[in-house]
Structures are given as C-alpha cells and as structure tokens.
Structure 1
Amino acid sequence: MPIHIYWGEDDFAMSKAIANLRDEVLDANWISFNYTTFPPEHPNAAIDALNQAMTPPFGTGGRLVCLMNASIIQQSDEMVLSELQRTLPVIPENSHLLITNSSKPDERLKSTKLFKKFAQIREFPLVSPWKTDLLIESVNKAANSLGLKLTSKCAEFLVEAVGNDTRLLYNELEKLQLYVQDSKKPVDVDTAAQLVTNGTRSSLELAGAIRMGNTPQALSLVADLLNASEPSLRIVATLIGQFRTWLWIKIMMETGERSSQAIASAAEVRNHYRIKYLLNEVQFLSVQQLVSCLPILLELEVNLKQGTAQVLILQTKVIELCQICKKR
C-alpha cells in the first residue's frame, strides 16, 4: 500500500520507522531525486505533496514523499479534499506518500474516512511510565532487534533506569551491545548497572522527599538531577507514575481491601510483595492530598513542554507539592 499515516507521541520510534520505510522504498543512488519532504510551514504543502507523489520516480527504486507534522489529518478544506479524492486512488505502486503527526487522525473528517480506505495507519504511542509490563515488553523487543538477550532482572532494571524514553533506551542498549559484543550469554543486571545511569532512582528519591513534605531535601534533589543532565520531562514522568501508584494504593486501602495481590493489580505494581512498603509510605497521606498533587504535576508537564524555564518551574511546583503533603 503506497500511502502511509504515522501518528503518535513516540517520535523516536516513528523516526526509526520512517528510516526503515525510506530504506525499503528508495534506491540509495537515487535518493536525492526521489525523496522529498514537505514541512508544515511549506505553503500548499498537501497539494504539492500529492502532485509530487504522482510523479514517476527517476532511475531505479521508488519515490517517497513525506508530509511532516501535517495538519491534513486534523483539518482539511474542500480544495484539499477534492485533490485527495482525485489522487489517492491512482498513486502509483512505486510512489509512496507518508503523512506524520503527533495527534490521532480526526475520525469526523471526510479526508480521514478517505485515508482509511487507501492508507496504512500506524500508531506510535508513548507508553505510560506506570505501565511496567508494557515497558518491559518494549525493552525486550528493542533488545531483540539489536540481537541482545537480557535476563528478566536486567529488563526490569532498564525500565527503572530509562522509563518510557525510547531514544534513551536504544542508546543504552547499543552501549550494552558494544560492551558484550558476540557473547551468547544474556546481559545480567550487574553488567547493565556498570554502564547504564539510573536517573529514575534519584527521581523516586525526589518523590519520597515530596511525600514527606521535606522542601529543602526536595529542592536539593531537583538541583542534583538537573546538574546530572537528567531530562526534566523524565523527572516529571517518574513523579506522575509514583503519585498515581500511591493514590491507587491509598484508595484501595480506604475501601477496605486487604489482599496485596488485588491492590497490586489495581495499582499496576508487578511485584505484590512491594505493596506492604507502599502502604507504609502512604499511611500519613490522605486521598485528597494525593489527588491534589496530580493536577500540579500535569501542569508542570505542560509548562515544560511549552518551554517554560525548567529550573524555576520545577522548583516552584516542587514547593507547592511539598506544602500539600506536609499538611497532616
């Protein structure tokens, strides 16, 4: 199928898929003639891309036309829709049109309904940091693609270390691949611990300081994490995951649930033996306190994504969180 729509927030996984599609479609000797990208700021990008897709490729191999971060799957005028209706059914098999966007195609649009008839649609979701099972599955899948074998403990360690950052995951796996070279033995956690920096553990320490309402310690940990070049969005992802887990555990505890397996299932905690420690951590916090923390964390994430100065906004929001948790 010569028409592709890639959407989702995992931009690194998407970029790898685009590279694979490029290698599959194009002849390396004719790339400069047959590979065209249209950025979102390009005037009449959709119309020009469709016209380009109808142009037969030069030389050998196929043609690949990319509409990057295109709004065509979120909104389209009558002129664009008319051009889509005329062009999509007749794009040559050796000419590929790729449309990318971080957001899901709007199902209400006529253009989206048309794309569903002619396009291959792939999602590249960013796995939530608290969905440990899915993250472990992603780690093992990425390791297999690089010819690496990991022990189960090593996979869990990598999830703890990199969270849902796909780019960082591949960087760390490539480092391990280079280190073990052609060894047939699975990479164990001791080997990984020597090479992989675990920033999540420090972020969990930050979550613990906030939980105790210890503002000076929390601000010190924020400074240490930033000085260690820990990405601010990774810090926030870890905090959101931890506070979400605490909230679920507190809710289950207050509803009278005593089964650690049931609580672990609701809170998506892989090891139910951790539940007794987590119950101890939240015993002095109320459900309302934990609920009040989540909007602040989500606001922090939005501010960071919008380019707000990370040091100031992290410090401000951490102080707010500590004040909420300090009230007993």
Structure 2
Amino acid sequence: MTVYLYYGEDSYSLNQRIDYLVNQNVHAQWRAFNYVKLSGNEKNIATKVFTEVMTLPFGEGNKIIHTDSDSLIGSLSNEDNNQELENQLSRIPSSNILLITGNKKPDSRRTVVKTILKYAQQEEFTLVPSWDKKGIVNLIGKYAAIHQVKLTPDVTDYLAEAIGNNAARANSEFAKLAVYTSGKIISIEEVKQLVGNHNTDYIKLTIAMLRNHPILAILQVSKLLDNNEHPLKIVATLTSIFRTWLITKAGIETKLSDTKIVEIAELKNPKRLYYLKDEVKFVGVQKLKNSLTLLVQLEAELKSGVDNLTSRIAEISTI
C-alpha cells in the first residue's frame, strides 16, 4: 500500500502513528531528504505533492510525502481532473508513500475523495468523549498495559477522573508510574501523590470564579501552577468553559431550543446541557460576557509577556 489516510481528533495518537510509519520506512540518515512535509501554505500543493511522490528516494530506505487532507483535496477541486488523479495514484513507486492526514474524514461524496479512498489504507484516531467514563477507563487500561502498571479498581477510577481523555498525559503519567512501581501494585494514596487531578482543580476554579469567590479562585490557580500547568493552558481551558456557559445562558434567555443550544455550543453529549443549565441558573449573561472578554485580554497579555494571570482571575471572580 502506497497511500495512507490518517484522520481523527486524537492528535496525540495520530502523531504517534505518523512517527511509527516514518521510523519504519525512512532511513534515519536520509530522513532530511526522504521525509517531505508539504503544508497548506504551499502554492500548487497538489502538483508539488505528486512531483515529490513520483521522485525516487535518495540513498537507503523509502520516501514519505506527508500533506494535510484539506489542502490536498482543496487543490484537487476540479472533478474533471479525476482520471489524471487516478493515474497518478496508481503509478506511485513502491518505494514511496503518500501520507494524508487530517482531524476529520474527508467528504466521501466528492469524486476526488472517492478516488483517494480507493487507493488509501485508512486509519481513524477517535478522541474518547470526555463524558464517556467507560471509554476513559478503557483508555487508562490501555496505557497501563503498555507500561505494565498493575492497577486496582479504586486506582483506575481515580486515574480516569484525573487524566480524563488526554492520551498524551496518560502515556506520560504511566511512564512515570512504571518507574515508580517496578511491577508492584500501587496504592491509591501513592497515586494521588504522583498524579494530580487537574480536572477537579479546574472545576473548583471555574465554580469559584462563577460564584464570586476570588480567594478560593486564586488558591486553585496557584495549585494548578504548582502542578506545572502552563498559564496559557489554564486560560484556554477557562475560555472554553466560559464560552460554553455564555452560549447556554444566552440560549436560555432567547428561548432557543435545546437542540439549537447543543449545536451552537458544540456539545458532543446533549445530556450535558441539563447540568450546564443548572450551573448558570443564577448567573447573568453580562457577567459571562465580561468574563470572556477579560479572558481573551488575559491571553493576549500572557502572549506579550505580561503575567497578569492571578490578578485577572481575581478580577473575573468579583464581576
């Protein structure tokens, strides 16, 4: 197979798979020549992709041409060129691989996509929904098995809550636990010392901000920083939560249907709306708007080197 299509929202697992494919096929000493990544910023990207993929590798090993699906398929918008596309795909040298990646599966209704799918080996990397407890427990079990860490049910439940659907963090935390346990069963007390529960910390922080408890909010921010959470990561998480709250509250006040609120808020689990409504029951739209404005301002300040994290969090908590 000379064409691979990888797609999905689990970017960590997808990138791990890319690294594996490259390491298996491209000789390390010739990687600079034989792993060619063409981005959407390139002009005439389709032409460049197929020029590269028809050119034999330098030295030892195979050659991989890596591009993103939106850019490649977008540049192949002329359906009249489909026969030419099929001819090119069918003539890719056996030493070469065309790797196409994206965060979603291309629209298979399009003729050019149908042609690509005809030649491609597909692999999907689905992100476990944050509300899917069983799926998250399975994710925890997967990385426990990879790193040969023995878990008791209470430890599994704690790690599922603490790590959530973050595959990158799961891999990192289990690598650490594997060194610590050396094959022995680890207790819940030991795990709590080694693996912080950032999800619970974020819940406490956002509720403190929403309920106007600045001192508690500052304490929670300090706790996240002590656990090596990056300030920009904290702000990004808060922005996402406050955006969802604002959409929910505005939707309620304008009497939008639950279906429409779920759509606008991009909720993957419609049942979550019930809990969101309860969280914003006694909060005004203006407070949420002002909070979101300050979070956007805080992000810009942090990116420019001004560290106003604690003071801005306190300010939002007093609106």
TM-score by length of 2: 0.69
> 1:117, 1:178 → 2: CA distance?
45
> 2:65, 2:73 → 1: CA distance?
16
Report the CA distance shift for 1:315/1:291 in structure 2 as closer, same or farther (over 3 A): same
> 1:215, 1:147 → 2: CA distance?
43
CA contact (8 A) 2:3 2:97 kept: yes
- Provide the residue aligned with 2:96 in structure 1: 95
**Percent sequence identity over matched residues?**
26
> 2:314, 2:73 → 1: CA distance?
38
- Provide the residue aligned with 1:125 in structure 2: 126
> 2:284, 2:165 → 1: CA distance?
23
Counterparts in 2 of 1:94-243, with a 5 A limit?
Answer: 94-181=95-182, 183=183, 185-210=184-209, 212-218=211-217, 220-222=219-221, 224-226=223-225, 228-231=227-230, 233=233, 240=241
> 1:67, 1:188 → 2: CA distance?
45
Counterparts in 2 of 1:51-70, with a 5 A limit?
Answer: 51-68=51-68, 70=70
Report the CA distance shift for 1:317/1:191 in structure 2 as closer, same or farther (over 3 A): closer
Range 171-180 or range 146-155, more displaced: 146-155
Where 2:121 maps in the other structure, the secondary structure is strand
> 1:235, 1:27 → 2: CA distance?
41
RMSD of aligned Cα (Å) = 4.3
Instruction: Give 1:122 deviation, angstroms.
Output: 2.3
Can you list the C-alpha shifts for 1:11-31, whole angstroms capped at 9, x where unaligned?
A: 221111011111222233443
CA contact (8 A) 1:9 1:126 kept: yes
CA contact (8 A) 1:39 1:69 kept: no
Where 2:196 maps in the other structure, the secondary structure is coil
Q: Unaligned regions of 5+ residues in structure 2, if any? A: 249-269
Instruction: Read off the aligned partner of 2:216 and give its amino acid letter.
Output: Q
Can you list the C-alpha shifts for 1:120-164, whole angstroms capped at 9, x where unaligned?
A: 222223333222221121121122223333333223222222233
> 1:234, 1:141 → 2: CA distance?
27
> 2:233, 2:80 → 1: CA distance?
37
Instruction: Give 1:119 deviation, angstroms.
Output: 1.1
Can you list the C-alpha shifts for 1:175-232, whole angstroms capped at 9, x where unaligned?
A: 1122223x2x344433322322322232232244356453553355345534654255
Structure 1 residue 35 corresponds to structure 2 residue 38: no
> 1:25, 1:319 → 2: CA distance?
54
TM-score by length of 1: 0.67
Where 1:49 maps in the other structure, the secondary structure is helix
Range 29-38 or range 310-319, more displaced: 310-319
CA contact (8 A) 1:10 1:125 kept: yes
> 1:136, 1:74 → 2: CA distance?
38
- Provide the residue aligned with 2:252 in structure 1: none
Report the CA distance shift for 1:63/1:234 in structure 2 as closer, same or farther (over 3 A): same
